């Protein structure tokens, strides 16, 4: 699927965790390496990490800093899409280290070009940070950022999108790790 780019959002401040989440270890590998490992069979070399931290360079991916700093995940998505050269993009937050290639491929297969975003749905809650984004949505994102409307869910709700129900067998892959307690629970 060389016609797709993987965009890993790793530019967060990690205030609740107290350290850069993407570099936390799970089974001896940083979170970001798990995510890249899941993306790589689908996107090949088309992977962008949005972060100002050069510690991410070990993966050999293109790393870019937010074009418009301090705009949260929406700013990271905007930056990734600006640097992407493909119409379709798989966006993943670095705090979801359990995602697998199987889940991402399934999600991508459910995406239709009729939609600007295909986001996952688990237990009635949407997850716009594990989703397929059409590169053209960067225009709406730019307008949202200009108006300081930074909630990703609000942006997605305002465009043509689809919510894709995640099968029971994959629900645990969408656990976000944001606090030291969640990290400890993950390692058990």
Per-residue H/E/C for 130-187: EEEEEHHHHHHHHHHHHCCCCCHHHHHHCCCEEEEECCHHHHHHHCCCCCHHHHHHHH
Q: Are 82 and 20 in contact (CB under 8 A)?
A: no
User: 165 near 121, Cβ under 8 Å?
Assistant: yes
Give me the number of domains the chain comprises: 1
Comparing C-alpha atoms, which of 113, 153, 120 is closest to residue 135? 113
Residue 4's pLDDT is 95
pLDDT of residue 1: 53
- Name beta bridge partners: 17: none
Domain assignment of residue 8, given as a range:
4-187
What DSSP letter does each residue of 94-113 carry, written as one string?
A: TT-TT--HHHHHHHHHH--T
CATH number of the CATH domain containing 78 = 3.90.550.10
Contact 152, 9 (CB under 8 A): no
- Collect all residues with Cβ–Cβ distance below 8 Å to 102 and sequence separation of at least 6: 170
Q: State the DSSP string of 119-134.
A: EEEETTEEEEEEEEEE
CA Rg, the chain, in Å? 15
Q: What local confidence, expressed as pLDDT, does residue 130 receive?
A: 96
Residue carrying the six token digits 């993966």: 59
pLDDT tens, N- to C-terminus, the chain (188 residues): 558 999 999 986 655 666 788 999 999 999 999 999 999 999 999 999 999 999 999 999 999 999 999 999 999 999 999 999 999 999 999 999 999 999 999 999 999 999 999 999 999 999 999 999 999 999 999 999 999 999 999 999 999 999 999 999 999 999 888 777 888 888 76
The H-or-E segment that residue 77 falls in is helix 72-83
Q: What is the predicted pLDDT for the residue at 13?
A: 61
């Amino acid at each position: 699927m060389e016609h797709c780019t993987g965009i890993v959002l790793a530019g967060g401040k990690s205030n609740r965790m107290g350290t850069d989440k993407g570099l936390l270890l799970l089974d001896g590998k940083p979170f970001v390496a798990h995510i890249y490992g899941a993306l790589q069979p689908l996107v090949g070399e088309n992977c962008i990490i949005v972060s100002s931290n050069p510690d991410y360079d070990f993966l050999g991916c293109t790393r870019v800093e937010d074009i418009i700093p301090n705009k949260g995940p929406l700013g990271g998505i905007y930056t990734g899409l600006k640097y992407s050269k493909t119409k379709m993009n798989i966006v993943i937050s670095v705090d979801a280290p359990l995602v697998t290639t199987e889940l991402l491929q399934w999600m991508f297969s459910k995406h239709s070009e009729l939609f600007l975003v295909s986001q996952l749905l688990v237990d009635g809650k949407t997850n716009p940070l594990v989703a397929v984004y059409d590169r053209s949505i960067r225009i709406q994102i730019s307008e949202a950022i200009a108006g300081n409307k930074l909630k990703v869910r609000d942006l997605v709700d305002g465009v043509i999108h689809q919510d894709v129900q995640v099968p029971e067998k994959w629900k645990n892959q969408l656990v976000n790790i944001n606090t030291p307690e969640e990290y400890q629970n993950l390692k058990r």
